[in-house]
Amino acid sequence: MENQKVALITGSNRGLGFETAKQLGEKGIIVVLTARDQNVADEAAAKLTKIGIKAYGIKLDITNTSDRSAAAKFIQEKFGKLDILINNAGVGPKGDFFVNKSVETDEDEFQYVFGTNVFGQVYLTNDLLPLLKASGAARIVNLSSRLGSLGTHAIPNGPFETVKRLSYNASKTALNAVTIHLAAELKAFGIKVNSADPGHAKTDMGGPNAPMEISEGVRTSVELALIGEDGPTGKFIHLGQEIPW
């Protein structure tokens, strides 16, 4: 077990997170699945264990300080390192997502969305950094969205004219900034950090009519989690192609 890679995937009891854990586990990686409820995390891990994957479930609300500390302690005591961190957990604004809403966005919506999509990601990554550095060649994948691309939003009459939800879009733009800064800061430790756009997949947020299956939606994250020394860092990628910041 000590020679196997270890991956932690946040928000992995269902959807993209669960499928990411499954695909990494099928490649021989030990996976740690997380959910806000311990029983839910255990149930998700048990599904993978039944198909021969080494999987563990832990309670982790990334906005909760004690949960983050407990997660770091678990990984330290169980494995002594962390090779892959998939910052998959994320939330959309409550209510109808597909409503253009900018200047009238209230404080509660900003706090709710940024608390998970930005601050929780940063704080968890910081708590796990000693374990990531212990890997020697760790990979961090931040689940972003093309909706965070300022370059795409700035196109006159572009593809996102009807998806101008500031709280969510700006949270993904901010997460992309985190990616760029962490990639530069952690390069000396052999750690690669990238933002992944999964695409519009059939998740709870994406809806049943999304064009991509969940299995295809995790392809970018899985590929970035497994890149070699010559792989990219500090990039925003979807299915092998760079996306404008």
Q: Cα 84 to the chain's mean position, in Å?
A: 11
Does 1 fall in a domain?
no
Residue 155: its pLDDT value, please?
94
pLDDT in tens, the chain (245 residues): 457 999 999 999 999 999 999 999 999 999 999 999 999 999 999 999 999 999 999 999 999 999 999 999 999 999 999 999 999 999 999 988 778 999 999 999 999 999 999 999 999 999 999 999 999 999 999 999 999 999 999 999 999 898 999 999 999 999 999 999 999 999 999 999 999 999 876 666 666 776 668 888 899 999 999 999 999 999 999 999 999 99
Q: Comparing C-alpha atoms, which of 235, 238, 221 is closest to residue 9?
A: 221
Does 149 fall in a domain?
yes
Active site residue 172: yes
Domain that holds residue 218: 6-242
Residue 99: its pLDDT value, please?
85
Residue 5: its pLDDT value, please?
98
| Active-site choice (22, 81, 172, 235) | 172
Residue 210: its pLDDT value, please?
65
Total number of domains in the chain = 1
Does 104 fall in a domain?
yes
Active site residue 56: no
DSSP structural state of residue 66? H
Q: Please give the structure tokens belonging to residue 15.
A: 């959807």
| CATH code, 172 | 3.40.50.720
Asked if 11 and 90 count as a contact pair (C-beta separation under 8 A), the reply is: yes
Does 199 fall in a domain?
yes
Residue 211: its pLDDT value, please?
63
Asked if 143 and 179 count as a contact pair (C-beta separation under 8 A), the reply is: no
Residues 39-70 as b or e (16 or more Cβ within 10 Å = b): ebbbebbebbeeeebbbbbbbbbbbbeebbee
Residue 202: its pLDDT value, please?
65
Residue 29: its pLDDT value, please?
98
Residue 19: its pLDDT value, please?
96
| Active-site choice (5, 22, 56, 168) | 168
Does 156 fall in a domain?
yes
Does 123 fall in a domain?
yes
